[in-house]
Structure 1
């Protein structure tokens, strides 16, 4: 399926899958969406609620371009907690596409951080920064089998319009089981059917203001 690099409204780039008319990030701002949904509503909210926790584990469903991982790594420079990041991706992005995205240039970070995240081997733990390590896992989302293992889940799969099988009750049951008590799941998608699937498996779900171009997003809590 044909893919192309496009520029979103905030100047950051994303990958477009032309046959699906679907993008890896919001066309209204890839960087703004990632910060709003995953960093602010997810990571930072968890740290504010659990300030005494010395370490946390993040699971990303849809590692994709690595933008969320990069932003999380950069956030680790401002905190004392250790972050262990697990990125799940069935179909890794090509090196040429990653270079064309230029996220390290846009954000103004040390380019070696983004490069090291993508160059490190899969299925092994790698220390990228003093408080940030990563395990990239080439797997399907349905392969998740951990129980009480994660504090924050970034649910960043392609939308239910093109991959409805990823937004169903059985998947969110796996997510619920994978989270520790008081853990958070955040996603850009605010569809009523998705919210009801989350609630059906035990999540308490909040509808929050969305990033540019979206009225709402969802944050689910395992109490």
Structure 2
């Protein structure tokens, strides 16, 4: 896999995938994008509306940033998170070791989330049970229902097959009514396919250089 660690505008790292032609995170700030889209609109909203452990599914484990930030918030709020992520093409171990997220976020677990074995539930800390699957979404078995979905695939220009009505229907089958999906991509086609798959689409203000992002609630 042809990938390279790069620095984004807020000083945090991302990874550029030359085969797909896209970055794993916004070049205008990886951490601030994850904070807005997945933590504020996703996890924190789940903490506000759900009692007990929160079940999170991440489409695209990638750099591990979303998992790391989720663990940080779980500890801050004294909440338990069951976190399931898929990543068919993990980044090389040497690139994972270069990422500066622990330094920027004042955390200590980036190596732990990357080193967790595949296909085995792993207690990263008492606050997070992490299970990673090295498979594409099409092969994901129904292991939900999940309370919140972080939909962090490459954009439709790079992976159009991951933004179809059919794929959102598969994701919906792993959720329950009232659970929700958050994503950085607000293209009209994506909104249409989410609605066709049974979601009510909410538009929210985005991070830097991003006018709006999506939280989609399953009806």
Instruction: State the partner residue of 1:67.
Output: 65
Counterpart of 2:147 (choices 148, 151, 160) is: 151
Q: Normalising by the residue count of structure 1, what TM-score does the alignment of the two structures yield?
A: 0.94
Measure the CA separation in 2 of the matches of 1:120 and 1:45: 27
Q: Is the contact made by 1:10 and 1:31 (CA closer than 8 Å) also made in structure 2?
A: yes
Measure the CA separation in 2 of the matches of 1:128 and 1:42: 21
Consecutive unaligned residues of structure 1, counting only runs of 5 or more, are none
> CA 1:19–1:148 in structure 2 vs 1: closer, same or farther (change >3 Å)?
closer
Measure the CA separation in 2 of the matches of 1:14 and 1:84: 25
Per-residue deviation, residues 130-177 of structure 1 (Å, max 9, x unmatched)? 221100111111122316511000000000011101100110001111
Measure the CA separation in 1 of the matches of 2:7 and 2:144: 38
Indicate the RMSD between aligned Cα atoms, in angstroms: 1.3
The 5-angstrom pairing of residues 1-223 of structure 1 reads 2-50=2-50, 53-110=51-108, 113-146=109-142, 148-223=144-219
Consecutive unaligned residues of structure 2, counting only runs of 5 or more, are none
Measure the CA separation in 1 of the matches of 2:57 and 2:78: 19
Of 210-219 and 164-173, more deviation after overlay is shown by 210-219
Q: Is the contact made by 1:16 and 1:22 (CA closer than 8 Å) also made in structure 2?
A: yes
| Count of aligned pairs | 219
Q: Normalising by the residue count of structure 2, what TM-score does the alignment of the two structures yield?
A: 0.96
What SS does the corresponding residue of 1:9 show, helix, strand or coil?
coil
What SS does the corresponding residue of 1:133 show, helix, strand or coil?
strand
